[in-house]
Structure 1
Amino acid sequence: MPVFAVTYEYSPDSARLGELRPEHRAFLSGLHDAGSVIVSGPLPADDGGAGGALILIEADDADAVATLLDTDPFRREGLIAERTVRDWLPVIGSLGR
């Protein structure tokens, strides 16, 4: 099944991110348990850039990935400033799946 790399760029409302983080992580954990999310983790803020996340997902196509993530609590509450979904073609290494 194809693998997609999803990146989130968070809005600057870090207090709200902290409030919703447990619900967001439970949402992604559910997708992991269902076999869609391979791995997920934060991308820390850097000099001049907002924090975000990288999520690797198995799905039929990019539209299916977007639909799957549309109900993420962070997205529902407007805390994702930008989301990208791209094909990812791993050629070296393993994620231990």
Structure 2
Amino acid sequence: MALVAVLYAYNDLPDVRAEHLDAHRGFLASQENLVLSGPTSDGSGLLVFEGEIATVETAVDDDPFLAVGLIKERRIFEWTPVLGSWKTQLGL
């Protein structure tokens, strides 16, 4: 199983973010290949998907946060866990 990590850096638009947070979370919840997601301590977002980079990139192109200009920067890359309890829990 290939894992793809997506890192979002956000524009500082707290009102816009609050207004569209439910749509963003609903969009993510609808992604069957999403393994985990959540905010980071620096205010960024981390998403981990099963799949290929091209497929994940196409999927996150539809994130409502992108459509309203909240995502300032997006990095997408393959991720290979090597150690840790999550590796076993994910069946890697």
Do these two structures clear the TM 0.5 threshold for a shared fold by scoring above it? yes
Report the CA distance shift for 1:44/1:14 in structure 2 as closer, same or farther (over 3 A).
farther
Task: Note if 1:29 corresponds to 2:20.
Answer: no
What residue number does 2:35 align with?
A: 38
What amino acid sits opposite 2:36 in the alignment? V
Report % sequence identity.
35
**Unpaired runs of at least 5, structure 2:** none
**Distance in 2 between the 1:29 and 1:44 partners?**
21
Residue 44 of structure 1: how far off its partner (Å)? 3.2
Matches for 1:1-97 after TM superposition, within 5 Å:
1-31=1-31, 34=32, 36-45=33-42, 51-59=43-51, 61-93=52-84, 94=86, 96-97=89-90
Shift of 1:63: 1.4
TM-score by length of 1: 0.84
Structure 1 outlier segments of 4+, above 2 Å: none
**Structure 1 residue 66: Cα displacement:** 0.7
- How many residue pairs end up in the alignment? 88
